Structure 1
């Protein structure tokens, strides 16, 4: 990793930690945060008034904070739940880092054998765990038309689509970090908020990941299996064959992954934090010992080409109660029948 990228990565981690530790120096940026919140409100009003409405239900999954709250695991859970209920589900995603262009049609992903450098790391997980049609495009309205007109999907899930207001929505689901909540509760750049906390009152469903928040449903991320990147060998998440490990996370909230590992019984010898969506190289994971390395599945899709026998990834699944699942399907059915 070159010096410039290393400094940038350290700066990103420092700023994120400052937001959630409520560092006092950030309040110097508060005037810019108020301006950001005002512009976000005007932008939302303008784009919503010109948004494209589709004849099938469109469900938005997103958050009002920067970073990870479990959007991809939730999207996978909802897609599989809807398929069980008989829907033909299409998934819209920007595909962070995906190589899409303005005048090209959306990239269609149906399996997990696509290059994450082309379609994005989270896109590979969506395709792998749902077997749904996944359209990658920064223009979600165009992708929606593509999945409806060409592939005859009768319901759409928009992953991380809350701020894409040019796409009209029938149901909004906002995720909240159940542990960190909203940090210092300021909008960018002084805090982690993309929109003010008042935005929550407009959502149809609130979900708190690995924690609680007022009337929100709780979603737990459950460790299920451990997979070897090199051999494909699979172990139970809580097993007695691997006890000590290096923990690697290049996601929005690394601590959540570390906590999941510790709950599963692993003794983490060292935590290695990388920026969200980090593009890994073999040298990033050379720790000069043979201790097993356990990473997130999102990181693993970018490490398969140089994987060694001591590299593993932890598979997790979203767990929500029957009450949420039943209410969600009822809400979708109600929209469909309008």
Structure 2
């Protein structure tokens, strides 16, 4: 599936975030999905399915909706803030989209997105953190602890109940929130909203400059997160440019993320004339995807850029994103983790 010029396309059923009636088959499947999920959670709750712990504090970052909500920028910010506070974090990830998901591996800066997955590759190249990709999050967390990490950040792991966790952070997209409020495939929800309210922290992604503010508010107990973008990094030679340098210019904008419109709207906030090209989340690009018919600068998300470096075009730019949260959020989180570490130390023989 290729991107389209003009209005970007959503790569999810129309009824998830609109007024389109939900088909009967989707409602029936959602009932089955919900029943299976409820049974699985109950089995963990009563101990028939066992949770395992790596022996160091575990922070899970995730969401209860399908698709992107801003987990990767938050994970990067979390790794950097933990380091600044004296922790040695490691990241556990499934590595969605990699060629061989059955093989566990350490993702290095030289690991390709096909080997390690696009999001793990991006996280490692931005932070240099130890990252273990494994479909079994528990095994990944234990490998990180054995490698000397004193805290594990689990990227996208709210539904992976086999891994015991000390802190859960739910990430919510302010524009879409929970859509029509129904479970997959009738709606975008992996679990019902009540599950999100059980998390220790709830972070609402308000987007970046120029994002619509109609739903850009947080509710009680929710922390706002802004995504800041300032630069465009050339993917072949040249110097970084400020996004404001593209003001008044037409550019091709490429986004293969959960909500491509979020990226396009952010660029428009810099008065850039965006020609949008939306692709499915985790899309594998080919040269043909970039046959746009006009030689304009191509601005793309970092997550897409790690998969397009081989195309060697002087027109390509990567737009890095930084997550900004209130200082009070970091104080509350680090205080909670400090208490957790103390409890672990007292429990040690």
**TM-score between both structures, scaled by the size of structure 2:** 0.88
Give the whole-Å Cα distance in 2 for the aligned partners of 1:164 and 1:65: 14
Give the secondary-structure state (helix, strand or coil) at the position aligned to 1:19: coil
With over 3 angstroms needed to count, the CA separation of the structure-2 counterparts of 1:37 and 1:101, relative to structure 1, is closer
Residue 300 of structure 2: aligned partner: 295
Post-superposition offset of 1:196: 0.7
Give the whole-Å Cα distance in 2 for the aligned partners of 1:97 and 1:123: 10
Post-superposition offset of 1:100: 4.0
Find the partner of 1:203 among 199, 221, 227.
199
The answer (yes or no) to whether the contact 1:242–1:292 under 8 Å persists in 2 is: no
Q: 1:1-338 counterparts in 2 under 5 A?
A: 13=10, 15-26=12-23, 29-47=26-44, 49=47, 50-100=50-100, 102=102, 104=103, 106-111=104-109, 113-149=110-146, 151-210=147-206, 211-215=216-220, 216-231=222-237, 233-240=239-246, 243-268=249-274, 270-338=275-343
The answer (yes or no) to whether the contact 1:93–1:140 under 8 Å persists in 2 is: yes
1:33-69, Cα deviation, whole Å (9 max, x unpaired): 2331222122123245311023211000000000000
Give the whole-Å Cα distance in 2 for the aligned partners of 1:101 and 1:190: 28
Give the secondary-structure state (helix, strand or coil) at the position aligned to 1:295: strand
Give the whole-Å Cα distance in 1 for the aligned partners of 2:33 and 2:196: 17
Give the secondary-structure state (helix, strand or coil) at the position aligned to 1:73: helix
Post-superposition offset of 1:222: 0.8
Post-superposition offset of 1:30: 2.2
* Aligned-pair Cα RMSD in Å: 1.9
Give the secondary-structure state (helix, strand or coil) at the position aligned to 2:154: strand
1:255-309, Cα deviation, whole Å (9 max, x unpaired): 11111111122111x2111100000001101111111111111001111111311
Give the secondary-structure state (helix, strand or coil) at the position aligned to 2:168: strand
The answer (yes or no) to whether the contact 1:100–1:107 under 8 Å persists in 2 is: no
1:169-219, Cα deviation, whole Å (9 max, x unpaired): 000000111111111110001100000111112100001101333121011
Gaps of 5+ in 1: 7-11
The answer (yes or no) to whether the contact 1:300–1:313 under 8 Å persists in 2 is: yes
> How many pairs align?
325
The answer (yes or no) to whether the contact 2:226–2:323 under 8 Å persists in 1 is: yes
Post-superposition offset of 1:228: 1.2
The answer (yes or no) to whether the contact 2:52–2:163 under 8 Å persists in 1 is: yes
Post-superposition offset of 1:28: 5.8
Post-superposition offset of 1:315: 1.0
Give the whole-Å Cα distance in 1 for the aligned partners of 2:165 and 2:322: 26
Give the whole-Å Cα distance in 1 for the aligned partners of 2:122 and 2:11: 28
